[in-house]
Structure 1
Amino acid sequence: MQRRELLGLAALSLGGCAAPTLQPPSPPDAPPPLPASASRISFASCAHQTLAQPIWDTIAADKPDLHIFGGDNIYYSPPQWSLEELQRAYALEAAEPHFARFRRAVPHVALWDDNDYGANDGGAEFKFKNESKAAFLEFFKAPANDARRTRGGIYDARVFGEAGRRVQVIILDTRWSRSSWTVTDQRGAPGKERYVPDADPAKTMLGAEQWSWLEAQLREQADVRLVVSGIQVIVEGHGWERWGNLPLERQRLYDLIAKTRASGVVLLSGDRHFGAIYRQTQGVPYPLVEVTASGLTHPWKEAKEAGPNRISELFTEVHYGMVEVDWPARTVNLSLRDIKGVAQRQHRIAFDDMKAST
């Protein structure tokens, strides 16, 4: 009871704010500085602020150099949206003791997905995205001069390490400018659960500004590139949110990787409330591997999917993902780890297998 009352007070203290500003002062309790290099990178998504989150202690004990918050960092996407209630949700998450310890101790970067963006399955049409963006940047304690404050969305990129041992983290925003999905004509049918593919060339996933920015990022020198998307990218066989619902935009991504000769791309995603590993070989400059890690608090234990390009069984327990770059062996080791930190799904990629053929 006492803890609940304290959480309620914390939430109330953030309520009733005036219109948000996109230029708040630098927070006094800024997160740990980002590391100069990063070879162990954890990532995870889907944490409900009303649920206990002991897995943060497990991730911290795994000693990542960097953590990626992969979206749905809280859950607030109601039909009647309000800034006050969004801030209450963030206050509950901030007060969760395992999370609070973790973000004070572990350097991190973050993206959002629909439930912290503020609209379930939402895209460019969401009316309160500016307010939601301000709250997101406040929660993750972005400094006043953060480039995201002047962009349309929260896309971002960071580089870690020196030449020859360089990891680039590219965070995509698949909400801010994304065109509307085409709703299924057979709701709940396998492969058509909510949406169907739409090849309308006028529709966009990222918007012109972000596409141009992404091309510049892919031209940067890097040995390993972690491209992070809230929704799944290469995954086939289901009718939930995914890049495949805008197939021309997904092919545009593949073609851009080829055009820029961006080697070392590994895709990370969340959203689905389970973990899995996928591999795509068609229409891509080299085989692309995607790891979905989605289940910090409430995984979908009964999940099933056709998974035609899935190379692992689904993992439906509480979990997180880990990327380990083995520089001497020139490999990237990917895993999904349980509440004890034990790898339950694994895949290894050689650097030489992440290069476009000449």
Structure 2
Amino acid sequence: MRRISFFIALLLANSYFLFAQDLVQSGPMVGYSTMREALLWVQTTTSAQVHFEYFDQENPSERFKTESYTTQSKYGFVAKLVANQIMPGKKYGYELFINDESVQRDYPMEFQSQTLWQWRTDPPEVSFAVGSCNYVNEPELDRPGKPYGSEFEIFESIHKQSPDFMLWLGDNTYLREADWNSRTGIFHRYTHTRSLPELQPLLASTHHYAIWDDHDFGPNNADSSFWLKQTTSEIFKLFWGNPNYDVIEQGGITGTFEWADLQFFLLDNRYYRTSNNNFTGEREILGKAQIDWLINALASSNAPFKFITIGGQVLSTEADYENYATFPKERQYLLDKIREAKIEGVVFLDGDRHHTVLSRMQENEDVYPIYDLTCSSLTAGSNNNQELLNTNKVEGTVVGQHNFGILNISGPRTNRVLNIKILDKDGKELWSRDIKAQELKYKSRD
């Protein structure tokens, strides 16, 4: 009798364990990192109590615990919890618990705290991934014909590169016609994309930051008139782990973060945008308030590389329907302010175009060259547009297949070097370029 009771108890325990595993819809994912805290994210299939336990990998016997949170339907069953008992420069393992039962994965679940290097050493080497345009097929709601998304193994290739973090450059998901008119539809699309199996190992051990473009904001080519932009803004913030949003306090997702001696400026090119077809007044993509905040924030930054991220191309002179060349007055205002304020070290990062290209702009010998890396597409349909009308194009950098970027910054504090590598879906290098921080300085700041 005891033996039967034991096996029944064991069966029930195993069933409960499997049930806890089945309660995970997507994730876990690692969000932002600082020296003293990091964000941990997960989505459940239904309401459940969630918490994380974590530990310094050099001292695994001492465990720390996040607060517990019960996921709710109205928030997409998403839990965002902060690991706030960490110390600088450490690698941590973590464990997910649902209803107090551990959830196991066959891939690493870990995060890192940023290094306290100031006044002590040179800044650490930093490696991060970039990419945009991720379309995950759902035949019932996709357009008929050939699937638009493919080669999802690209996320496994990014994972193998072991970047410190990944910076998603917009169109991270694609809202469909059935999605963008309702909160239910928007939640469905974000959930469906985030649940992609090939994505899960990358989510679990690489920190993630993101901006958006039209397809994760609303309909194709969506602008400030989109009627559910407050809803997509709310859901974007639920599904991503940036350390701040809406720093100009006018709605949207504008923000910034630091990693080592680098600073990243996350811009919103949709929330304030004028319709592409509206020429009746002042036309804007970012809006004066956002640009003025950006210039002030750039002027306050000591970073040798100041990465400005935006959903669409900035420096390309080929006037595509959606890039900044089609808003020439505001584009010139932005670039003039960067020059007027003597901002150094500017590199733009963007996506949208479904191909990759590096652009370089230098108006005269008295100013340094500004670079713009367009990196696209991850899984959405790619094209082989050669940007024949882009006079700022760097020859040999156009890529018309699925690809991603790995950006590595190394060297001593006074001589940092940025290496840009573009890799195909299998992780094969397509091209590489070095940019020295010293090259992105004015000869004179007078």
Could you say which TM-score interval applies, normalised by the shorter chain?
0.7 to 0.9
Unmatched segments (≥5 aa) in structure 2 = 1-23, 26-42, 48-71, 84-109, 116-123, 138-148
Residue 326, structure 1, aligned to residue 428, structure 2: no
Q: What is residue 113 of structure 1 aligned with on the other side?
A: 213
Letter of the structure 2 residue corresponding to residue 44 of structure 1: G
Give 1:330 deviation, angstroms: 3.1
SS at match of 2:224: coil
| Cα distance in 1, alignment partners of residues 205 and 231 from structure 2 | 28
2:271 to 163, 167, 176: 176
SS at match of 1:235: coil
SS at match of 2:80: coil
Residue 272, structure 1, aligned to residue 353, structure 2: yes
Letter of the structure 2 residue corresponding to residue 286 of structure 1: Y
Give 1:158 deviation, angstroms: 0.9
The answer to which structure has the higher strand fraction is: 2
Give 1:160 deviation, angstroms: 2.0
Q: What is residue 206 of structure 1 aligned with on the other side?
A: 286
| Cα distance in 2, alignment partners of residues 158 and 322 from structure 1 | 18
What is the TM-score with the length of structure 2 in the denominator?
0.66
Q: What is residue 87 of structure 1 aligned with on the other side?
A: 187
Q: What is residue 336 of structure 1 aligned with on the other side?
A: 422
| Cα distance in 2, alignment partners of residues 173 and 357 from structure 1 | 32
Give 1:251 deviation, angstroms: 1.4
| Cα distance in 2, alignment partners of residues 95 and 211 from structure 1 | 35
1:110-149 Cα distance to aligned partner (Å, 9 max, x none): 0000000012111211111100011111111467xx4438
1:230 to 286, 305, 311: 311
Q: What is residue 317 of structure 1 aligned with on the other side?
A: 401
Greater C-alpha Rg: 2
SS at match of 1:122: coil
Residue 254, structure 1, aligned to residue 335, structure 2: yes
Aligned residues: 327
Residue 27, structure 1, aligned to residue 108, structure 2: no
Residue 69, structure 1, aligned to residue 168, structure 2: yes
Work out whether residues 201 and 248 of structure 1, in 8 Å CA contact, stay in contact via their aligned partners in 2: no
1:220-274 Cα distance to aligned partner (Å, 9 max, x none): 2111111111100000124221111111211122122223322111111100111
CA RMSD of aligned residues (A): 3.2
Q: What is residue 49 of structure 1 aligned with on the other side?
A: 136
Change (3 A) 1:308 1:172: same
Provide the identity percentage. 24
| Cα distance in 1, alignment partners of residues 384 and 263 from structure 2 | 35
Letter of the structure 2 residue corresponding to residue 242 of structure 1: N
Name whichever of 32-41 and 273-282 sits farther off: 32-41
Work out whether residues 387 and 393 of structure 2, in 8 Å CA contact, stay in contact via their aligned partners in 1: no
Letter of the structure 2 residue corresponding to residue 127 of structure 1: W
1:309-332 Cα distance to aligned partner (Å, 9 max, x none): 211342122110121113245321
Q: What is residue 236 of structure 2 aligned with on the other side?
A: 136
1:293 to 375, 385, 392: 375
Unmatched segments (≥5 aa) in structure 1 = 1-5, 184-197
Higher RCO by CA contacts (8 Å cutoff, separation 6 or greater): 1
What is the TM-score with the length of structure 1 in the denominator?
0.81
1:19-73 Cα distance to aligned partner (Å, 9 max, x none): x79xx99624889466346621210011112246221121121121121011101
